[in-house]
Amino acid sequence: MFLRSLRHSPRLIGRFQTRWASPENIGEGITECEVISWSVSPSATVGSFDPLCEVQSDKASVEITSPFDGVVKELLVQEGEVAKVGQGLCTIEVDEEKNPRSRLHPPPAPEPSPSPRKLHPMDPAFVPEKGADSWDVLATPSVRHYARTQGVDLALLAPGSGKGGRVEKSDVEAYLSRSSSAPSSPAPAQPSGEDIIVELGRTRQAMFRAMVKSLEIPLFGYSTTLDITDLHSLLPILNTHIPSRYVPASASNTPARYDPASALGAGLPAHPDVPDTGRYTRLTYLPFLLKTLALTMMDWPLFRSAINHAPPSSASASTANANAAKPSLTIRPHADIALALNTPTGLYTPLLRAADTRSVYTLASDIAHLAALGRRTPSGLTSVHLGAGTLSVSNVGAAGKGTGAAPVLVPGGGVAIVALGRAEWVWDVSERYWQRGEGEWKGVGGGERRLKLPVSWSADHRVVEGAEMAAFVEAWRGWVEAPTRLVGEGV
């Protein structure tokens, strides 16, 4: 980890190892990360646990801190570059006596600096080197003759496209075609009409790999609509009574005349602090849907389960299934729901842990806070906010008016996923509302205007049966379409 002192200096140069590889820091299986920004510069003095830089992996952004006191000497990985696990990020000069633990780490073998690769002569960005002798260039006599008759200096084409850098006739012809097509005077830029190749960002690369793995899962789909008319009528009442700790200070126009917390004096436990990003002025349908979903999950252990893939047996094959994997399920004590977030840096699925223990107001605060972190560039979502849920929710209705979807379930994403559409007012002429009617149709039939929410489910058909999926959704409907049941759960 360290390079010993140079020229017998009483100090040594410390070379940092990338410590974000541990599961509790950045996530298991991460092999590289991109340096987003540096918090220090060369010659800067740093102390232990001072922030050095921020890195972005496939799953989250993490702040790397200094393990020693010392002076930064060199930044080995620049902003925007990718660092591998075990690769040095920077060098720091430390006092060996003040940092005795630095002696415990052996110095790493120095990595040879790769020489810059030369561009091919046919590359549009190729710039020939000046001062080379054409007779030092590898080329056949016929190619030399052809180049001489065309007035082309072979030194401008070295190295060529042939074996060992040999200049071929095609290299000379390509050079002539570029020279003839080059404009004699600058012309206004025109659209080239050519294809542009764009590399995927790190988060989108992770999504690419996850979607490929999703093909391993057989899915069962189930779509329906939920009547949220009563929930819509309940929202204004609950919006009027949002607890003050969740309301931004700027939106609080009526200060309390009496502070209930001061009745018995100081020293009593207070409510947990709510970050500014977790404050809001209005409830939406989403926290209610998540709360009712969590309560339904508590009645259905199957949807609180995570699949365990046991390794194949190493014993000798005595039967046909001796080497077969033996999957199992781990049932969690609470409802852990992953919420899909569309952010400027890609798709993230932060985890709402133990959603069944959170109130509707608290869930709304959690959603607002996670959304605010996701909107940052780079993303403010870290490994603290991420995790594997047993059920995922995607609120696609916030982006479009689609009435159906086919959500994809990826390995490790739980046993089911639901896509929430956009609620629309429709005229319900079902038997339930046909005799009720409205206006001139009241009492004589005609239906009723209701607010309907389309939902689309996909479940892992390896462990979830179709009948179980349908029964679970109907149990959820019982909560959503009768929101006053939440009174018994303390909302």
How many Å apart are CA 174 and CA 178, to the nearest integer? Answer: 6
Select from 104, 125, 150 the last residue of a domain: 104
Neighbouring-strand partners of residue 116: none
Select from 153, 177, 201 the last residue of a domain: 177
How many Å apart are CA 236 and CA 367, to the nearest integer? Answer: 19
Residue 200 lies in a domain: no
158 in the same domain as 122: yes
412 in the same domain as 299: yes
173 in the same domain as 38: no
Q: What is the CATH classification number for the domain harbouring 147? A: 4.10.320.10
pLDDT of residue 285: 94
pLDDT of residue 333: 93
Residue 190 lies in a domain: no
The one-letter amino acid code at 74 reads E
126 in the same domain as 99: no
What's the number of CA atoms in the CB half-sphere (13 Å) around residue 103? 7
81 in the same domain as 121: no
Instruction: Tell me the CA distances in angstroms from 308 to 250, 302, 311, 411, 417, one per residue in order.
Output: 48, 13, 10, 11, 18
pLDDT of residue 312: 41
On whether the CB atoms of residues 23 and 59 are closer than 8 A, the answer is no
Domain that holds residue 430: 216-248+275-310+327-489
Instruction: Tell me the CA distances in angstroms from 442 to 427, 435, 436, 438, 445, one per residue in order.
Output: 14, 7, 6, 4, 6
DSSP β-ladder status, 416-420 and 391-394: parallel
How many Å apart are CA 27 and CA 58, to the nearest integer? Answer: 9
The one-letter amino acid code at 313 reads S
Task: Measure the N-to-C terminal CA separation of the chain; round to a whole number of Å.
Answer: 54
Select from 74, 104, 134 the last residue of a domain: 104
89 in the same domain as 121: no
For every residue of 3-69, DSSP letters joined together read: EPPGGG-SEEEEE---GGGSTTTT-TT--EEEEEEES--TT-EE-TT-EEEEEE-SS-EEEEE-SS-
Structure tokens at 404: 């159906």
The one-letter amino acid code at 81 reads E
Query: ∠ at Cα 251 (248, 256), nearest 5°?
Result: 90
Q: For residue 371, give the nearest of 292, 454, 287, 304 by alpha carbon.
A: 287
Q: Give strand ranges (E) for 211-269.
A: 219-227
With a CB cutoff of 8 Å and minimum separation 6, the contacts of 131 are none
473 in the same domain as 363: yes
pTM: 0.60
Taking only the tens place, the pLDDT of each residue in 185-233 is: 555 555 567 888 887 777 777 778 878 888 888 889 999 999 999 999 9
281 in the same domain as 166: no
pLDDT of residue 4: 31
Structure tokens at 158: 């070295």
Q: What is the CATH classification number for the domain harbouring 67? A: 2.40.50.100
Question: Residues in the chain with pLDDT < 70?
Answer: 1-31, 57-61, 86, 96-136, 180-192, 252-270, 309-325, 435-445, 490-491
149 in the same domain as 48: no
Residue 188 lies in a domain: no
336 in the same domain as 223: yes
DSSP category for residue 417: E
